[in-house]
Amino acid sequence: MTPPSPLAFVPYISVENMMRLVHSVGIETMLRELADAIERDFVRWNLFDKTPRFGIDSENGVIELMPTSDGELYGFKYVNGHPTNTRQGLQTVTAFGLLAKVASGYPVLLSEMTMLTALRTAATSAMAARHLAPKDAKVMALIGNGAQSEFQALAFKAVCGIEEVRLYDIDAAATAKCARNLAASGLRGTACRSSQEAMEGAKIVTTCTADKQYATILTDNMVGDGIHINAIGGDCPGKTELHRDILLRSEIFVEYPPQTRIEGEIQQLPSDHPVTELWQVISGEAKGRTSAAQITLFDGVGFAIEDFAALKYVHEKALATGLYDQLDMIADPDDPRDLFGMLTRAREAA
Ligand SMILES: NC(=O)c1ccc[n+]([C@@H]2O[C@H](COP(=O)([O-])OP(=O)(O)OC[C@H]3O[C@@H](n4cnc5c(N)ncnc54)[C@H](O)[C@@H]3O)[C@@H](O)[C@H]2O)c1
């Protein structure tokens, strides 16, 4: 059989190469660079085609497609969210994604995105906190100590200067795992016996729990003035983490309102409840934190532009370092209209 032509090949970042890439850049440097890359694309917000992600719900979870384009490149991510998966030894979240040239529709990158989603989610959270959290915050409560948690902790260290994380999970084994993984990070990790205890002395709280129902990870009495809340675990219809009363006391910042109104904490509020779009704060069109006593809430559900920025970032890094494979992915007949002839010749050659 004749070997595939150069046009057949699409660069592919495997899980192995993604992990090599992270270690070659250094995880904290990568989280900082990702936060900057995502911030740059938030400044270009109006250029992008945007749509709420398309989700198909089932009893155990959701499978979503997240597309966007800046007119030059098109990107999408496939991602699932299945909170009961870990009981069967499967992850709650797995993902992969693709970048393509808008002009021809030809893919330029296929990539694993389970690792990349954890990195981009943490980078987005820390980037939002850079604009919204009290500047002197050194302690963060981290509630939900599963797959996302260490990435969140390291991003807040690298981007916001957090020095201590106070850990709580309903499963003490998850907290022990998280503390162990962070032991050499330079962060002080303190295991706590309740969310309330985790909140002691914290100026930032990150909630990243997984439960496919309305949950109340934080109640109103736990949240004092001046706190920044980074709520990322409530990201589907019927799946929230905060008591409604907290929302009513908070200044709420979101990614893309048409998506967050369906999926975020604000699904608990009327559809006209005022929220501020994060991109407007970043580009100076809206105010972020306006007083030390204000409670700011980043109601993060994850938006396609963050994945697009992350894919573009790893695409450049992979091409520069050679940490990718070439995937024979696009059928490329000699005559573009003779796809069938290509198939016939393959049988003759077999
Ligand atoms: N916003 C985003 O962009 C984004 C991106 C990725 C994941 N997520 C969401 O973040 C959440 C965490 O993801 P993950 O991959 O770390 O999941 P995971 O299943 O690995 O970890 C979740 C942890 O939450 C704990 N938990 C559940 N209920 C709790 C409670 N009431 N109090 C304290 N801890 C509790 C579980 O024991 C588990 O350790 C999921 O809901 C996921 O859908 C959001």
CATH number at residue 44: 3.30.1780.10
Looking at the domain assignment, is residue 95 inside a domain? yes
Q: Helix or strand or coil: residue 299?
A: strand
173 and 244 in a single domain? The answer is: yes
CA 44 centroid distance within chain: 19
Q: Name the residue with higher pLDDT: 321 or 350.
A: 321
Residues with CB under 6 A from ligand 1: 81, 86, 92-93, 117, 121, 143-148, 169-171, 174, 208-211, 215, 217, 232-233, 235, 300-302
Let me know if residue 1 belongs to a domain.
no
Q: Which of 86, 91, 142, 148 to mutate to test the pocket of ligand 1 (most atoms within 8 A of CB)?
A: 148
What's the CA-to-centroid distance between 106 and ligand 1, angstroms?
35
- Using CA atoms, how far residue 4 sits from 9, 10, 76, 110, 339, in Å, is 8, 11, 26, 18, 13
d(CA 167, CA 176): 9
The whole-angstrom separation of Cα 318 and Cα 58 is: 35
> What is the average pLDDT across 143-165?
98
289 and 152 within one domain: yes
Could you tell which of 209, 253, 256, 260 is best to mutate to test the pocket of ligand 1, judged by most ligand atoms within 8 Å of the CB? Answer: 209
**Residue 270 and residue 166 share a domain:** yes
Q: Which two tokens stand for residue 319?
A: 């091409």
For residue 323, the enclosing domain spans 6-115+305-349
* Residue 225 CB coordination number (10 Å): 10
Coil, helix or strand for 294? coil
Closest CA to 231 of 205, 266, 200: 205
Query: Is 287 in the same domain as 266?
Result: yes
More confident: 2 or 142 = 142
Q: Is the same domain home to 139 and 35?
A: no
- Counting the structural domains of the chain, the total is 2
Ligand 1 centroid to residue 311 C-alpha, Å = 23
Q: Could you tell me if 206 and 142 lie in one domain?
A: yes
Could you tell me if 154 and 187 lie in one domain?
Answer: yes
Q: Are residues 289 and 313 in the same domain?
A: no
Average of pLDDT values for 241-262? 97
Ligand 1, residues 87, 92, 166, 193: which to mutate, most atoms within 8 A of Cβ?
92
Q: Tell me whether residue 235 is one of the annotated catalytic residues.
A: yes
Task: Give, for 113, the enclosing helix (H) or strand (E).
Answer: none
Q: Which of 76-85, 102-111, 207-216, 219-228 has the lowest mean pLDDT?
A: 207-216
CA of 67 to the centre of ligand 1 (A): 23
- Residue 3: pLDDT band (50, 70, 90) is confident
Of 235, 334, 335, 338, the catalytic one is: 235
Q: What does the mean pLDDT of the chain come to?
A: 96
Do the domain assignments include residue 262? yes
Å from CA of 69 to ligand 1 middle: 28
